[in-house]
Amino acid sequence: MASILIAFVIAALAVKKGGASPTTVNHRSCVQIEVPVSVETTAIKWLQPRVDSNIDAVDWVRYQTTRASPNNTESMMGRIPVKETFNINGQLCVPPKGAARSETLQIATHGGGFDKRYWDAEIKPEEYSYVEAALSEGYSIFTYDRLGTGKSDKPDGYDIVQLNVQVEILRQLTQLARSGKLVSTSKKLSNCTTNTRLTKYKPSKVVHVGHSLGSLVSVGLITNYPTESDGLIATGFLITNVPLSGLNVATWGFELARENDPALFRDRGSGYLVSATKSDVQLNFLRKGSFELAMLDYAWQIRQTVTVSEFQSLTTGFGEKGAEFRAPLQMVVGENDYGVCGGDCVGAYDLDVIKQVYPGATDLDVHVQPGTGHGLTLSINATAGYKASFDFLHRSGL
């Protein structure tokens, strides 16, 4: 499976900064929580240069893209036990009482370079916020800052913040949600003590939604623990049949986060990277003509970090049980996604090949969103893409 997936995996990241959305917006009720998540797994010790300055960041990119450097397998130096509890910042929102699909919870995992606000734009939320769209459709939704981003913990960027650990965190969050204890076991960061629909919320089904790196985390979940999900919408993600046109870490314009902005990223240590300029963000996530200038400014405002080992571990979170996943699966990609298919995703996939990777999927679909880049929620036709995914879920009984 890994050999089939390797073609698109370099593209699996996105860009944002830490923060929280409003507790209530129009028809929604939300609670901000800090979830203690206990993880016991193994991570990988990687052979790679340390990054303690902008000069080091450039050298790290050069190392990763030089032909003579060790490949990913050669860079694996061994396994590291990880047994820690991490604080994960999240937001649970439920639609008005009586909404048809409120018992179906969507758990959304953002991509690299962003935090959970990727899903919940504060600029024109009726046109861009996936959270608003999901609630309007009647779904409940939980968004969270991945480990190393936003207001979640930011541990070691080499041996801890990597895909294997992110997959286990998503698994634990899923299990807490299914048990009805997601809020009760967490620290409440907003006042909702009288709203039992939030504090005691227990879904009957859980659908996972990912973007880019978050899709890789979500795919890691279903290929390691195929019964943990009742459905997956993987956006910014596609098993392609085309080369990546030379796209690699060099397109990110990386600098050491705390040197790029000492105030904004003062809590990020060695190995935490961020795109240096707004133009770098545009290159990776937006296509000219498909975004408002205000959204590019917003994307820059909420930019977030990735770690060196998240890039190193892009394919290491996948398990061997993908064939056992027996639920609906949709892959969503922008027509002009520069990372996934070199800017032209039309005809860049073979559905029969994808079915070979996930033969047990009860329904399988690929949606190519017209005139859109990698940043699907930042593009002017975002809600059309959301509708395509909701229609897919409805057809699949979710």
Kindly report, residue by residue over 168-187, the tens digit of the pLDDT: 999 999 999 999 999 999 99
Over 70: is that where the pLDDT of 157 sits?
yes
Give the other-Cβ count within 10 Å of 114's Cβ.
Answer: 33
Over 70: is that where the pLDDT of 153 sits?
yes
The predicted-structure confidence for 209-231, as pLDDT tens digits, reads as follows: 999 999 999 999 999 999 999 99
DSSP class per residue in 156-167: -TTTTSSHHHHH
Q: What is the model's pLDDT at position 216? A: 96
Q: Tell me which of 248 and 364 has the higher pLDDT.
A: 364
Beta carbons of 209 and 106 less than 8 angstroms apart? yes
Encode burial over 202-212: b for 16+ CB neighbours within 10 A, e otherwise: ebebbbbbbbb
Q: What is the model's pLDDT at position 195? A: 78
The SS3 call for residue 118 is helix
Over 60: is that where the pLDDT of 8 sits?
no
Beta carbons of 279 and 294 less than 8 angstroms apart? no
Q: Which of the four pLDDT bands, split at 50, 70 and 90, describes residue 72?
A: confident
CA 31 to chain centre: 21
Name which of 208, 218, 204 is nearest 168 in CA terms. Answer: 218
State the burial class of residue 6 (Cβ atoms within 10 Å of its Cβ: 0-12, 13-18, 19+): middle
Percentage of the chain exceeding pLDDT 70 = 91
Name which of 2, 22, 207, 5 is nearest 117 in CA terms. Answer: 22
Beta carbons of 219 and 211 less than 8 angstroms apart? no
Over 90: is that where the pLDDT of 28 sits?
no
Delimit the domains of the chain by residue range. 2-395
Over 60: is that where the pLDDT of 200 sits?
yes
Over 70: is that where the pLDDT of 192 sits?
no
Q: What is the model's pLDDT at position 368? A: 97
The predicted-structure confidence for 103-133, as pLDDT tens digits, reads as follows: 999 999 999 999 999 999 999 999 999 999 9
Q: Tell me which of 73 and 234 has the higher pLDDT.
A: 234
Does the domain spanning 2-395 belong to CATH 3.40.50.1820?
yes
Q: What is the model's pLDDT at position 7? A: 39
Q: Which helix (H) or strand (E) holds 333?
A: strand 328-334
Q: Which of the four pLDDT bands, split at 50, 70 and 90, describes residue 12?
A: very low
Distance CA 57, CA 270 (A): 10
Q: Helices (DSSP H) in the chain: which residue ranges?
A: 2-9, 54-65, 125-128, 130-136, 163-179, 196-199, 213-224, 257-260, 278-285, 293-301, 308-312, 338-341, 351-357, 382-395
From the CA atom positions of the chain, what is the Rg in Å?
A: 19
Mean pLDDT of the chain: 91
Name which of 224, 152, 166, 181 is nearest 39 in CA terms. Answer: 166
Distance CA 358, CA 353 (A): 9
